[in-house]
């Protein structure tokens, strides 16, 4: 995968990542649950990875659902 | 064999519940929220979908405020011990289960002030009496949605309106009501709803939780347990957000898989349809018992005003003996005694004698009721 291809979205916990997965799915956005990259946070849970092109739409959909986003990182 | 102990736990469970639990153990099995491999994620999805299904069933807008635990008792302990402080005043009813009374009585010894509002002999709370018991420092109203002894359904929405007007949170013990009656936390003004998964939701034992309304301030609710949550692992202090703050330790995911299937089953049948069917069976049971010579029946005596739980005694006979003979001679399983609810039995006038309790459920039939009534008539006629 090339630089800038994806955006990783950090949420509060795996519970929230799972909620985010549902929210994005219902918004028609595809995403993948991945382990939190160690470079981004020292957590041991999951976060969301979306296509870079879906970054803004995913950001909006997740915030609209009341999720607290702890960071969006392009990788 | 007739199983009339559904008020203790529903049985048999719907096949999809058994299948979902078997599927989890055979095909998924992983710990949710502790890793991000595909089986951990699948396990996490089951937990999340269970949150959503429970939230939807009770019209709770935020699935992240469905806090899972082992059962309704744990949920009630979380609400009571996590929220109340010495010196607070609490109002509750005279028909509560010990899952409410024991935590409240224990806190009373530490300085909590408790007012128990008496109920009628049929088990009803008069909302006016409850309102009159509210004081300026009342911090919580704790109310049973439906009695586990006589099934009496309380005027929860009316109490909810009083609670909202006074600005006091309303905690509802929905052990007997969840799945058996339509519950809408928003229209009924319920702030904290404690439920169990293994009764009217047709899931397995070991599941339950506390559903928290969106405007309830979670900063005021301390968790019962602290520990690992899989989140913010770099910190040695508890996370501050729900649900993680309240779910330390590995959840009972095989149980939640069953609960999810149970809630979906209840939704597919329709709560109103299930309730309507139980009303018909319960009315037939009540009328049959009332027409039995020597049989004393307790509670509303109106199937529309109660759940499918009916308590009775045979005059001059120990309820334990009735239960034993129903089981051994007729294959009818029920529960006798005080049902962990001495307050309810004092209210209906059967303390310390107790009652025979028939708890009907979705799997019971008219034939079950008729066979049981024949058995009771046999015993009463001796």
Axis crossing angle, helix B15-23 with helix B253-269, rounded to the nearest 10? 150
The per-residue pLDDT for range A5-60, each reduced to its tens digit, is 999 999 999 999 999 999 999 999 999 999 889 888 877 788 999 999 999 999 99
Q: Is residue A13 part of a domain?
A: yes
The per-residue pLDDT for range B203-256, each reduced to its tens digit, is 999 999 999 999 999 999 999 999 998 888 888 999 999 999 999 999 999 999
What is the Cα–Cα distance from B89 to A72, expressed in whole angstroms? Answer: 46
The domain spans of chain B are 2-10+270-381, 15-269
Least confident of B107-116, B172-181, B229-238, B300-309: B229-238
What is the Cα–Cα distance from B325 to B310, expressed in whole angstroms? Answer: 18
Instruction: Answer for the pair B140, B173: CB distance below 8 angstroms, yes or no.
Output: no
pLDDT of residue A3: 54
Q: Is residue A1 part of a domain?
A: no
Tokens of B354: 């107790």
Which CATH number does the domain B2-10+270-381 belong to among 3.90.1150.10, 1.10.730.10, 3.90.1170.50, 3.30.365.10? 3.90.1150.10
The partner residue sitting opposite B44, judged by closest CB among A12, A14, A36, is: A14
Tokens of B28: 């998924």
pLDDT of residue B256: 98
Backbone angles phi, psi at B136, to 5 degrees: -65, -30
What is the Cα–Cα distance from B47 to B263, expressed in whole angstroms? Answer: 13
Q: How many CA atoms lie within 13 A of B164 on its CB side?
A: 15
Please choose, from the candidates B34, B4, B10, the residue with its C-alpha nearest in 3D space to the C-alpha of residue B251.
B34
What is the Cα–Cα distance from B129 to B151, expressed in whole angstroms? Answer: 21
Residues 246-305 of B with CB under 8 A from A: 247
* B48–chain A Cβ distance below 8 A for any pair: yes
The partner residue sitting opposite A18, judged by closest CB among B44, B62, B239, is: B44
Q: Is residue A51 part of a domain?
A: yes
Looking at residues B77-98, what average pLDDT do you find?
Answer: 97
B52 contacts in chain A (CB < 8 Å): 22
Instruction: Answer for the pair B39, B29: CB distance below 8 angstroms, yes or no.
Output: yes
Instruction: Answer for the pair A7, A58: CB distance below 8 angstroms, yes or no.
Output: yes
The per-residue pLDDT for range B152-188, each reduced to its tens digit, is 999 999 999 999 999 999 999 999 999 999 999 999 9
* B164–chain A Cβ distance below 8 A for any pair: no
pLDDT of residue B187: 98
Instruction: Answer for the pair B193, B160: CB distance below 8 angstroms, yes or no.
Output: no
**% of chain B exceeding 70 in pLDDT:** 100
What is the Cα–Cα distance from B173 to B210, expressed in whole angstroms? Answer: 10
A16 with B63: Cβ contact below 8 A: no
Q: Is residue A59 part of a domain?
A: yes
Tokens of A51: 């296509």
Instruction: Answer for the pair B299, B378: CB distance below 8 angstroms, yes or no.
Output: no
A43 with B41: Cβ contact below 8 A: no
Could you tell me the pLDDT band of residue A1, with boundaries at 50, 70 and 90?
very low
The partner residue sitting opposite A35, judged by closest CB among B36, B44, B62, is: B36
What is the Cα–Cα distance from B62 to A67, expressed in whole angstroms? Answer: 11
The structural domain count of chain A equals 1
pLDDT of residue B231: 85
CATH number of B15-269: 3.40.640.10
pLDDT of residue B214: 97
Tokens of B208: 């339950």
Helix or strand holding residue B372 (H, E): helix B366-381
Parallel, antiparallel or unpaired: strands B309-314 and A69-74? unpaired
Its domain, for residue A69, covers: 6-74
Looking at residues B302-306, what average pLDDT do you find?
Answer: 98
ipTM for the assembly: 0.86
Q: What is the mean pLDDT of chain B?
A: 97
Q: How far is B230 from chain A (nearest CA, A)?
A: 6
Least confident of B118-122, B250-254, B378-382: B378-382
Residue B382 has pLDDT above 70, yes or no: yes
Report the CATH number that the domain containing residue A14 is assigned in CATH.
3.30.70.1530
């Amino acid at each position: 995968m090339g630089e800038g291809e994806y955006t990783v979205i950090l949420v509060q916990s795996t519970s929230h990542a799972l909620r985010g997965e549902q929210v994005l799915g219902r918004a028609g956005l595809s995403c993948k649950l991945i382990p939190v990259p160690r470079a981004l946070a020292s957590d041991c849970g999951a976060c969301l990875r979306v296509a870079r092109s879906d970054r803004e739409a995913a950001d909006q959909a997740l915030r609209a659902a009341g999720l607290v986003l702890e960071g969006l990182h392009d990788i | 064999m007739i199983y009339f102990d559904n008020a203790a736990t529903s049985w048999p469970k719907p096949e999809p519940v058994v299948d979902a639990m078997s599927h989890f153990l055979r095909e998924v099995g992983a710990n949710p929220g502790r890793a991000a491999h595909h089986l951990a994620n699948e396990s996490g999805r089951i937990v999340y979908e269970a949150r959503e299904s429970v939230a939807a069933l009770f019209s709770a807008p935020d699935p992240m405020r469905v806090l899972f635990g082992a059962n309704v008792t744990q949920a009630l302990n979380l609400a009571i011990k996590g929220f109340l402080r010495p010196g607070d005043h609490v109002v509750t009813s005279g028909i509560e289960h010990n899952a409410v009374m024991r935590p409240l009585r224990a806190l009373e010894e530490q300085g909590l002030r408790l007012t128990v509002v008496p109920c009628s002999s049929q088990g009803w709370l008069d909302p006016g009496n409850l309102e009159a018991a509210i004081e300026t420092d009342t911090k919580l109203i704790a109310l049973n949605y439906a009695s586990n002894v006589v099934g009496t359904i309380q005027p929860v929405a009316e109490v909810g309106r009083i609670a909202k007007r006074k600005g006091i949170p309303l905690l509802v013990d929905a052990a007997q009501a969840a799945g058996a009656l339509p519950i809408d936390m928003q229209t009924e003004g319920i702030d904290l709803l404690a439920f169990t998964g293994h009764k009217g939701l047709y899931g397995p034992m070991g599941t339950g939780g506390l559903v928290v309304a969106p405007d309830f301030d979670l900063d005021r609710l301390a968790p019962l347990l602290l520990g690992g949550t899989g989140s913010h692992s770099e910190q040695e202090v508890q996370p501050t957000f729900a649900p993680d703050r309240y779910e330390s330790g590995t959840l009972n995911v095989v149980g939640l898989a069953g609960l999810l299937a149970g809630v979906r089953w209840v939704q597919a049948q329709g709560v109103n349809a299930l309730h309507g069917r139980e009303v018909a069976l319960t009315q037939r049971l009540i009328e049959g018992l009332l027409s039995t010579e020597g049989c004393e029946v307790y509670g509303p005596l109106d199937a529309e005003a109660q759940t499918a739980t009916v308590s009775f005694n045979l005059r001059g006979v120990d309820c334990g003996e009735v239960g034993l003979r129903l089981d051994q001679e007729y294959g009818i399983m029920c529960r006798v005694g005080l049902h962990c609810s001495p307050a309810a039995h004092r209210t209906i006038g059967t303390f310390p004698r107790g009652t025979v309790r028939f708890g009907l459920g979705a799997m019971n039939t008219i034939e079950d009721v008729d066979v049981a009534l024949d058995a009771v008539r046999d015993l009463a006629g001796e």
